[in-house]
């Protein structure tokens, strides 16, 4: 859109955006051509990759027979107090230079990296940028690289104009009317259910099946409860008892996903450099215990990058060999486990990421792993066992709702449940939670929501009062028991939490 024109100054502008963490900030790209010695400057806190765009723009213009005007060219990125980065500013800058005195007829967003031959290329930041702009209500139409349309068409409510070259974009902006592509309703996955006018998608594919696990009936029941209510869970058992096998199979029986959640997962996958699958499969992140704090929580020396905790949003964060993680890492994990966000503070940036995940931990009972074995002798001293177990603080363990001691493996053990059976039970429990108009899963309910949705029958109330006195339960422990009992009642098909559901929930509590 042309903002000002005179004999001395020509100012045109287009819209673009930059990422601040995972949130897009609108940037107005202004271009002015003034009399003076030929020069090309970019101002407005532009990062090095934007400064380098000057050379790409010059070569792209020359390759397509656009003559660089013999004037002083100044590109301003407004607002100037926000640091901008990304090669997707190339196309907007080139268009402002190429259009010169031409009147831009459309106030439109423009995204695209330029090749030296004038081709318009995509970048991994386009999807996160445009999705964030749409969520904030800032964008209705945009010129984008044609090869990015396949992914971008999943974002509903935005009209896209795909271009392959700089000359195509130039011609497009001079047209009186534009014809673009609007995203249509997309069907994700094999099946879906509609609850309160919201559609949720899921698959019934189980590459890893719970039928492969022999025995461990109690652990499988706890895993089912964890999946149905997104409750944090900790498995404690000897090496080879099946802790990791259960954790790796959990993601395939988790509750269905809405379109908004699928797109949010795809946004994080783009930020992590992955190619999104746009399928209703929740993420599974399993960092090694040697991973740095920055790798797990996000960060960096200059800007805050996304970490494992944020990449696990809407999915599973699995810590195997839990006591071997640094104590500082485990204590820092308490915030996202409780508040479902992670805050990264740096000198140059302060960023907040959503971190609504199901935490799964696995540990041995002692350093050698044989403390609970009936056939192998434990080689650890009592001091070593205490030191090992004390690596997990009570405040950290209070954020975990299900504690499971794995059973001894037996040759005659049989398979109890298949993933298909467990997934169907999870879907039915998920439906009950949504029909109650819960905004969160049972495992993520706030104090107010616990009082509203976790209604106990009279005999269940009496049992909980006795358990509180007998075991010295804290306020958080009582809340955890209520949330787990609510999920058990959903799995059992009960409207209220009865005695049976409460007793089972108490059996999963942390032992002192």
Boundary of a domain, candidates 153, 182, 211: 182
> In the block, which residue shows the tokens 């532009």?
46
Q: pLDDT for 360-395, tens place per residue?
A: 999 999 999 999 888 889 999 999 999 999 999 999
Whether 362 contacts 318, CB under 8 Å: yes
Q: How far apart are CA 237 and CA 222, in angstroms?
A: 14
Give yes or no: residues 50 and 157 share one domain. yes
Mean pLDDT of the chain: 91
pLDDT recorded at residue 191: 93
299 to 283, 296, 307, 308: CA distances (angstroms): 20, 9, 7, 11
Q: How far apart are CA 265 and CA 272, in angstroms?
A: 11
Give the CATH number of the domain where residue 494 resides.
Answer: 1.10.8.60
Q: pLDDT for 50-84, tens place per residue?
A: 999 999 999 999 998 888 888 899 999 999 988 99
Q: How far apart are CA 65 and CA 13, in angstroms?
A: 22
pLDDT recorded at residue 57: 95
The answer to whether residue 193 is domain-embedded is no
Query: Is the pLDDT score of 225 beyond 90?
Result: yes
Give yes or no: residues 150 and 215 share one domain. no
Boundary of a domain, candidates 391, 426, 461: 426
Split at pLDDT 50, 70, 90, the class of 47 is very high
Q: How far apart are CA 111 and CA 469, in angstroms?
A: 62
Whether 118 contacts 167, CB under 8 Å: yes
Split at pLDDT 50, 70, 90, the class of 481 is very high
- The whole domain housing 47 covers 2-182
Boundary of a domain, candidates 426, 460, 480: 426
Residue 385 in tokens: 């066992």
Cβ density class 272-302: b for 16+ within 10 Å, e for less:
beeebebbbbbbbbbbeeebeeebbbbbeee
Give the CATH number of the domain where residue 158 resides.
Answer: 3.30.230.10
Query: Is the pLDDT score of 2 beyond 80?
Result: no
pLDDT recorded at residue 178: 74
The answer to whether residue 109 is domain-embedded is yes
The answer to whether residue 213 is domain-embedded is yes
State how many domains the chain has: 3
DSSP label of 119: B
The answer to whether residue 415 is domain-embedded is yes
Query: Is the pLDDT score of 21 beyond 90?
Result: no
Q: pLDDT for 140-157, tens place per residue?
A: 999 999 999 999 999 988
Whether 141 contacts 110, CB under 8 Å: no
Give yes or no: residues 493 and 394 share one domain. no
pLDDT recorded at residue 177: 75
Split at pLDDT 50, 70, 90, the class of 280 is very high
Three-state SS across 428-475? HHHHHHHHCCCCCCHHHCCHHHHHHHCCECHHHHHHHHHHHHHHCCCH
Q: How far apart are CA 430 and CA 254, in angstroms?
A: 9
Backbone angles phi, psi at 508, to 5 degrees: -95, 5
Q: How far apart are CA 47 and CA 1, in angstroms?
A: 25
Q: What is the mean pLDDT of residues 2-9?
A: 57
> In the block, which residue shows the tokens 């056939």?
375
Query: Helix or strand or coil: residue 251?
Result: helix
Strands 402-405 and 233-236, bridge-based pairing: parallel
Give yes or no: residues 108 and 164 share one domain. yes
Give yes or no: residues 248 and 326 share one domain. yes
As to burial, measured by CB atoms within 10 angstroms (0-12 exposed, 13-18 middle, 19+ buried), residue 391 is middle
Whether 182 contacts 158, CB under 8 Å: yes
Give yes or no: residues 407 and 511 share one domain. no
Give yes or no: residues 450 and 421 share one domain. no
216 to 223, 243, 245, 369, 422: CA distances (angstroms): 10, 10, 11, 17, 14
Give the CATH number of the domain where residue 257 resides.
Answer: 3.40.50.300
Split at pLDDT 50, 70, 90, the class of 132 is very high
Q: How far apart are CA 287 and CA 310, in angstroms?
A: 12
Give yes or no: residues 319 and 360 share one domain. yes
pLDDT recorded at residue 12: 85
Q: How far apart are CA 29 and CA 27, in angstroms?
A: 6
Angle between helices 458-471 and 475-492 (to 10 degrees): 140
Among 253, 252, 233, which Cα is nearest to 322's?
Answer: 233
The answer to whether residue 438 is domain-embedded is no
The answer to whether residue 434 is domain-embedded is no
pLDDT recorded at residue 436: 95
Q: What is the mean pLDDT of residues 446-474?
A: 94
Q: What is the mean pLDDT of residues 336-342?
A: 92
pTM of the model: 0.91
Whether 203 contacts 189, CB under 8 Å: yes
Q: Please tell me the least confidently modeled range out of 4-18, 28-42, 431-445, 469-483.
A: 4-18
User: From the centroid of its chain, how far is CA 34?
Assistant: 46
Give yes or no: residues 364 and 449 share one domain. no
Give yes or no: residues 113 and 148 share one domain. yes
Split at pLDDT 50, 70, 90, the class of 8 is low
Give yes or no: residues 172 and 256 share one domain. no
Whether 298 contacts 306, CB under 8 Å: yes
Q: Please tell me the least confidently modeled range out of 180-184, 263-267, 431-435, 462-466.
A: 180-184
Q: pLDDT for 236-256, tens place per residue?
A: 999 989 999 999 999 999 999
Give yes or no: residues 344 and 479 share one domain. no
Query: Is the pLDDT score of 220 beyond 90?
Result: yes
Query: Is the pLDDT score of 173 beyond 90?
Result: no
Split at pLDDT 50, 70, 90, the class of 493 is very high
Backbone angles phi, psi at 277, to 5 degrees: -100, -15
Q: What is the mean pLDDT of residues 344-351?
A: 72
Split at pLDDT 50, 70, 90, the class of 505 is very high
Q: How far apart are CA 262 and CA 276, in angstroms?
A: 10
pLDDT recorded at residue 301: 56
> In the block, which residue shows the tokens 């869970």?
233
Q: What share of the chain is helix, strand, coil (3-state, %, to 5)?
A: 40, 20, 40
Residue 64 in tokens: 């397509």
pLDDT recorded at residue 99: 85
Residue ranges with strand state E in 346-436 = 350-354, 358-363, 402-405
Residue ranges with strand state E in 286-398 = 316-319, 341-345, 350-354, 358-363
Query: Is the pLDDT score of 5 beyond 60?
Result: no
Q: pLDDT for 110-120, tens place per residue?
A: 999 999 999 99
The answer to whether residue 477 is domain-embedded is yes
The answer to whether residue 299 is domain-embedded is yes
């Amino acid at each position: 859109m042309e903002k000002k024109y005179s004999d001395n100054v020509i100012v045109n502008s287009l819209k673009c955006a930059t990422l601040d963490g995972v949130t897009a900030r609108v940037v107005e790209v202004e271009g002015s051509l003034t009399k003076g010695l030929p020069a090309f400057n970019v101002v407005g806190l532009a990062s090095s990759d934007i400064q380098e765009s000057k050379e790409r723009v010059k070569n792209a213009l020359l390759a397509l027979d656009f003559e660089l005007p013999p004037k002083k060219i100044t590109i301003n990125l407004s607002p100037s107090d926000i640091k901008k980065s990304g090669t997707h500013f190339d196309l907007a800058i080139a268009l402002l230079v190429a259009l010169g005195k031409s009147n831009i007829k459309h106030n439109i967003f423009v995204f695209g990296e330029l090749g030296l031959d004038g081709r318009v290329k995509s970048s991994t930041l386009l999807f996160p940028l445009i999705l964030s702009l749409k969520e904030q209500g800032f964008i209705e139409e945009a010129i984008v690289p044609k090869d990015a349309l396949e992914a971008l068409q999943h974002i509903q409510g935005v009209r896209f104009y795909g271009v392959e070259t700089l000359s195509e974009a130039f011609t497009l902006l001079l047209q009186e009317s534009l014809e673009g592509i609007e995203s249509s309703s997309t069907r994700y996955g094999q099946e879906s259910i509609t609850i309160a006018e919201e559609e949720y998608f899921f698959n019934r594919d189980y590459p890893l099946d719970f039928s492969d696990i022999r025995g461990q009936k109690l652990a499988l029941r706890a895993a089912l409860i964890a999946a149905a209510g997104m409750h944090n869970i900790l498995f404690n058992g000897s090496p080879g008892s099946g802790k990791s096998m259960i954790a790796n199979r959990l993601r395939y029986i988790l509750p269905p996903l809405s379109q908004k959640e699928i797109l949010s997962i795809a946004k994080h996958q783009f930020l992590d450099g992955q190619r999104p699958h746009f399928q209703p499969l929740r993420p599974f992140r399993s960092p090694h215990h040697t991973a740095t704090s920055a790798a797990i929580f996000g960060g960096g020396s200059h800007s805050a990058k996304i970490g494992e905790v944020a990449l696990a949003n809407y999915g599973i964060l699995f810590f195997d060999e839990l006591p071997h993680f640094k104590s500082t890492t485990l204590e820092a994990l308490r915030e996202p486990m409780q508040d479902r966000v992670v805050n990264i503070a740096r000198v140059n940036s302060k960023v907040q990421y959503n971190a609504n995940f199901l935490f799964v931990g696995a540990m041995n009972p002692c350093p050698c792993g044989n403390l609970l074995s009936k056939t192998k002798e434990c080689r650890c001293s009592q001091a070593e066992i205490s030191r090992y177990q004390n690596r997990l603080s009570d405040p950290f363990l209070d954020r975990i709702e299900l504690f499971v001691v794995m059973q001894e493996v037996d040759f005659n053990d049989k398979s109890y449940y298949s993933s298909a059976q467990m997934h169907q039970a999870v879907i039915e429990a998920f439906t009950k939670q949504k029909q109650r108009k819960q905004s969160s899963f049972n495992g993520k309910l706030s104090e107010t929501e616990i009082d509203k949705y976790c209604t106990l029958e009279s005999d269940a109330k009496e049992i909980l009062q006795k358990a509180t006195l007998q075991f010295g339960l804290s306020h958080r422990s009582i809340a955890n028991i209520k949330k787990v009992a609510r999920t058990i009642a959903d799995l059992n098909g009960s409207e209220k939490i009865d005695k049976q559901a409460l007793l089972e929930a108490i059996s999963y509590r942390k032992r002192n």
